[in-house]
Chain A
Amino acid sequence: MFELIDPVPGAPPPPGPWAVRPTPVRFSIDASAAPTQIWRAALSADPLAARVTLGVAREQLRAQEAALATAEERMRRATYAGTSFSSSTVGGAPERALQGLVQELRADSGTPTGASFSLHETTPTAWVAAEAQFRAFVAQARETISTYATIETRQERLLIGRTRVNWGGDVRSHLIAGVSRIQAELHRRTLTLALRSRAAILRVFGIVLRGARIVAQMISSPIGTVTALPAAWSFVQEVLGEVRGSEWVSG
């Protein structure tokens, strides 16, 4: 129903209702047709149902934005709890995952963990996986600020509106001839949703950067901010996942 067609391989879903689909690979060379991020909403032909769908999507995004607003503070608390009561788990899944990753980091660097002084023989697999995902996210964020965003609204199969926005904010919209008031509203709401999600990608990026500094500074371990980035990234994804899972996926 809502998809982001993203040229970045392995790009994670951005905040909001969007499922990520890779850009189809073409075997042709067309320099002017550079791949862009396409944000597409496929809505019902029934205006009421379409509005409801957009309303639910907006609420989903709003809930994730609200969750994002708490992420930094939660990270700070989880990190503190991890240092003070490192053998215990605090909070929900994000906090537990963060503590797990931090312990992996300490083990890899030879720093004794607060929970135990046993040697970690295993490789830090969770951290490595998070690092790969985070690098895909960095590429996605980079794509966000370097290419056009194309936002499309369809009702059933009919394309009713398409808007291109460049990073400078210029907007070019194409609307179907004779566009109705409701169709215009549906497209405008899709546009709002997509642009908010697009901005949220950068917001997540900023939160992860600040979160990594918190993790790096507040745990008793000599890790650097860069090394802590995947841990912070995973934490933010877990926080977003809590909202996705608990409130919206069931619908």
Chain B
Amino acid sequence: MASELLYFNGVNATRGDFARAPLTAQELATRIRGDQPDPARLDPDTAQRNELRLRYAQRQAGQFGVKEGVDEKDLAQTGWGVIFPADPAYAPVREALSELLAWRRMQAGPRYRECAGANGYHSGEGKASFLRRQGAATSGPVDPDKFPYYLLLVGDPERIPFRFQYQLDLQYAVGRLYFDTLDAYAAYARSVVTAEGGTVQLPRRAVFFGVQSPDDPATQLSTRDLVEPLTRELNQNRLMADWQIDTVLGGAAQKARLKQLLGGDETPALLFTASHGVEFDAIDPRQIRDQGALLCSDWPGPRAWSHRAIPPDFYFGAEDVAADANLLGTIAFHFACFGAGTPRLDDFPHERGFQAAIAPHAFVAGLPQRLLGHPRGGALAVIGHVERAWTFSFSDTQGARQIESFSSTLRRLMLGGAPVGFALEYFNDRYAELAAGLTEDLENARFGQRIDDMALAIKWTEHNDARSYVVLGDPAVRLPLAAEGAAPTERATIPEVRATVTASEQPAQPTPEAAVQPPAPAPTPEPAPSSAPAPGPQAPLQQAPPVAAYQAAPGYPPAVVVYYGYPPPGAPGQPQPGSSAASFGLFGGGGKVAEAAQKLTESLQEFADQIGDTLKQVLEDAAHLDVETYVADDLSSVNYAQNDFSAATLRAVTRMKLDGDTKVLVPISAGQLDERLWAIHTSMVAQAQANRAEMIRAISSAAAGLLGAVQGK
């Protein structure tokens, strides 16, 4: 058994190959155990490991979720809360979501909670310290009088990390919302309120979309051992009699068909997909936009399409959702690698415990963003996987137990009318159970007890799978279903909704910052001009519409410049464009200020000249980016100031061109790839990309401001 190969559900679209080669259970177990078996390899946070054990114990005793006597489907009892990053730049986002917040405030009454401003999430915080600040218990059943059960995190995973979401999700029902534009936030808010207001009444129809590609064991397994058993079980359930459950399997699971299911005429209330999620190298400009997109059966499989980049024709991503899509009310569940998002660092256990950067920064996948924030009305929630999904975790070797988590979650959604966050609690229970068992195994291994490789590998894969399922969207949404026997009606849409904030007050781009564990998120790599712009954290936000009025939320500063009783710029008496000399001349009475200001003008002029030259050179050199990594026995002997590197050995090189042509020299040691050095080098590449993008932004901003200052505008 230990020699059986384990397959991972991801295909690298940059290289056109499996994202990770299959491993034997023995190989994987060796990596999980490491040189020194230690439960910290599961989660370095001791408090979290203790919480996992507690949750497992509570589950054994039938006590979990909300405290006794609270109905999880009634927000007035469970409460509802929203958590923003502690950053005033998120005020416009709060404003864009105001329709949803007002709606939830009405439903949850006194158990409504907003954590924003100083009370919001602080960078680097763990669950326990956050909850303590809110006056809530840090473990055990949730008491909604102290802190609500349903919690919506708002922000990208650099501002509020995925790890925090996993931790909080263990005790609460948690979802996350992140969009590139304020309009999308406003559209999502309108979608939820419209759906819950009774306008949307969807027929009871679910579709299971199972991709199966030739020569691809992963999708063959996911169809055979996940999609087919799930649909069989649901069809056999007598309570499902009023549900229409359709399957689209194998060769039929093509991109064109998926387009019909995600916004087209066939869009169901519930869509479940099982496929590869496409993965890209961290230096690929498509990564932020397309990673986690669903690879359809158009892909002819790994043998027929070996070592060739995978074109967008084979996968379904954000750009494939039509502008006139009708999605309002749908809930989607994507079993796919990176279907919900990507962390910056690899979760996969490496030999010697090294973690590699797999993306320039953590991000929410593009497809769910598009589905949720669609301007005509979007999906209400997307359940997906962060990082890689593991096909092996639902294989029959453990009696198909993992199927039950999927199955129970779906039943709770479809039959019980449960909010999506509550429905997903089965995965959290599973995560707690597996983590508790794994912790025990690794502790035993530390004291020399032999642990079966296969059992360890199975538990580890299942543990990761269960942990990494997340809800994108409000965790309190549920399927807006028509009454039994009701005549089908046309799916509603929402009128166009625009965020009512000014473009100048949009949220700031996440700054490139090193996280405590793991470190160093970075901004989006600069996209190649030849390709569509990657939806970086800020760029599309600049497209949000300016409007006249903005009502500041309590606790936030006003968001527009208001000339309190003074004439606007340009009015008589105010500095005129191009009148710097004139206004400056008003100080020409011989004051010291006038003299010094003259020097200042000269200094700025020199800077303006320099910045012009630099920008010109940057643009000329932007066609390529070179990253070189050397090693030397004694770094002080390397005369770097004179570019004399004879005392050092060049070990790795990456040369990237805007046309996508990338050349790399990889370090080899004893005939093998020197993985450690390669990981260091790739992190330098990510750093270089991030730095270039940041510097160009900063220089351009300074240049624009400088022009205005010098001209007196």
- Contact between A205 and B702, CB atoms less than 8 A apart: yes
Given known pairs A170-B625, A227-B597, the reply for A175 and B633 (CB within 8 Å) is: no
Q: Which of B583, B627, B633, B676 contacts A176 (CB 8 A)?
A: B633
Q: How does the 8 Å CB contact mask read for B567-584 relative to A, with 1 for contact and 0 for none?
A: 001000111000010011
Looking at chain A's contact residues, the main secondary structure is helix
- Contact between A174 and B698, CB atoms less than 8 A apart: no
- Which residues of A are found within 8 Å of B587, using beta-carbon distances? 108-109, 223-224, 227
Given known pairs A59-B124, A128-B593, the reply for A168 and B622 (CB within 8 Å) is: yes
Q: CA–CA, A132 to B593, complex, Å?
A: 11
- Contact between A110 and B589, CB atoms less than 8 A apart: yes
B25-33, B135-143, B540-548, B611-619: which lies at the interface: B611-619
- Which residues of B are found within 8 Å of A61, using beta-carbon distances? 513
Q: CA–CA, A179 to B356, complex, Å?
A: 16
Q: How does the 8 Å CB contact mask read for A153-196 relative to B, with 1 for contact and 0 for none?
A: 00000011111110111111111111101001100110111011
Chain A proximity of B254: nearest CB distance (Å)? 41
Confirm or deny: B687 has a beta carbon within 8 angstroms of a beta carbon on chain A: yes
- Contact between B610 and A146, CB atoms less than 8 A apart: yes
Confirm or deny: B238 has a beta carbon within 8 angstroms of a beta carbon on chain A: no
- Contact between B513 and A213, CB atoms less than 8 A apart: no
Confirm or deny: B495 has a beta carbon within 8 angstroms of a beta carbon on chain A: no
- Which residues of B are found within 8 Å of A146, using beta-carbon distances? 610, 613-614
- Contact between B713 and A170, CB atoms less than 8 A apart: no
Residue of B nearest to A185 (CB): B519
- Which residues of B are found within 8 Å of A225, using beta-carbon distances? 575, 580, 583, 708-709, 712-713
Of residues 48 through 87 on chain A, the ones whose CB sits less than 8 Å from some CB of chain B are: 54-55, 58-59, 61-62, 65-66, 69-70, 73, 76-77, 80, 83-84
Of residues 184 through 235 on chain A, the ones whose CB sits less than 8 Å from some CB of chain B are: 184-185, 188-189, 191-193, 195-196, 198-199, 202-203, 205-206, 209-210, 212-214, 216-218, 220, 222-227, 229-230
Interface size on A, residues (CB 8 A): 93
Residue of B nearest to A111 (CB): B586
- Contact between B631 and A217, CB atoms less than 8 A apart: no
- Contact between B631 and A135, CB atoms less than 8 A apart: no
A39-47, A91-99, A137-145, A239-247: which lies at the interface: A137-145
Residue of A nearest to B698 (CB): A202
- Contact between A128 and B596, CB atoms less than 8 A apart: yes
Q: Which of A30, A176, A218, A226 contacts B712 (CB 8 A)?
A: A226
Q: Which of A62, A168, A174 contacts B123 (CB 8 A)?
A: A62
- Contact between A188 and B687, CB atoms less than 8 A apart: yes
- Which residues of B are found within 8 Å of A65, using beta-carbon distances? 511, 513
B53-61, B107-115, B688-696: which lies at the interface: B688-696
Given known pairs A171-B684, A225-B708, the reply for A195 and B586 (CB within 8 Å) is: no
Q: CA–CA, A110 to B630, complex, Å?
A: 62
- Contact between A150 and B640, CB atoms less than 8 A apart: yes
Where the two chains meet, the residues of A that have a C-beta atom closer than 8 Å to any C-beta of B are 30, 32-33, 36, 54-55, 58-59, 61-62, 65-66, 69-70, 73, 76-77, 80, 83-84, 104-105, 108-110, 123-124, 127-128, 131-132, 134-135, 138-139, 141-142, 145-146, 150, 159-165, 167-179, 181, 184-185, 188-189, 191-193, 195-196, 198-199, 202-203, 205-206, 209-210, 212-214, 216-218, 220, 222-227, 229-230
10 nearest A-B pairs in the assembled complex, by CB-CB distance? A169-B692, A209-B705, A224-B583, A202-B698, A168-B621, A171-B688, A108-B591, A224-B584, A159-B635, A108-B593
Where the two chains meet, the residues of B that have a C-beta atom closer than 8 Å to any C-beta of A are 87-89, 123-124, 352-354, 508, 511-514, 516, 519-520, 522, 557, 561, 563-564, 566, 569, 573-575, 580, 583-584, 586-587, 589, 591-594, 596-597, 599-601, 603-604, 606-607, 610-611, 613-614, 617-618, 621-622, 625-636, 638, 640-643, 645, 648, 676-677, 680, 683-685, 687-689, 691-692, 694-695, 698-699, 701-702, 704-706, 708-710, 712-713
Beyond A199-B694, A213-B713, 8 additional contacts (C-beta under 8 Å) are A123-B592, A128-B593, A142-B611, A150-B640, A169-B695, A174-B638, A184-B680, A196-B513
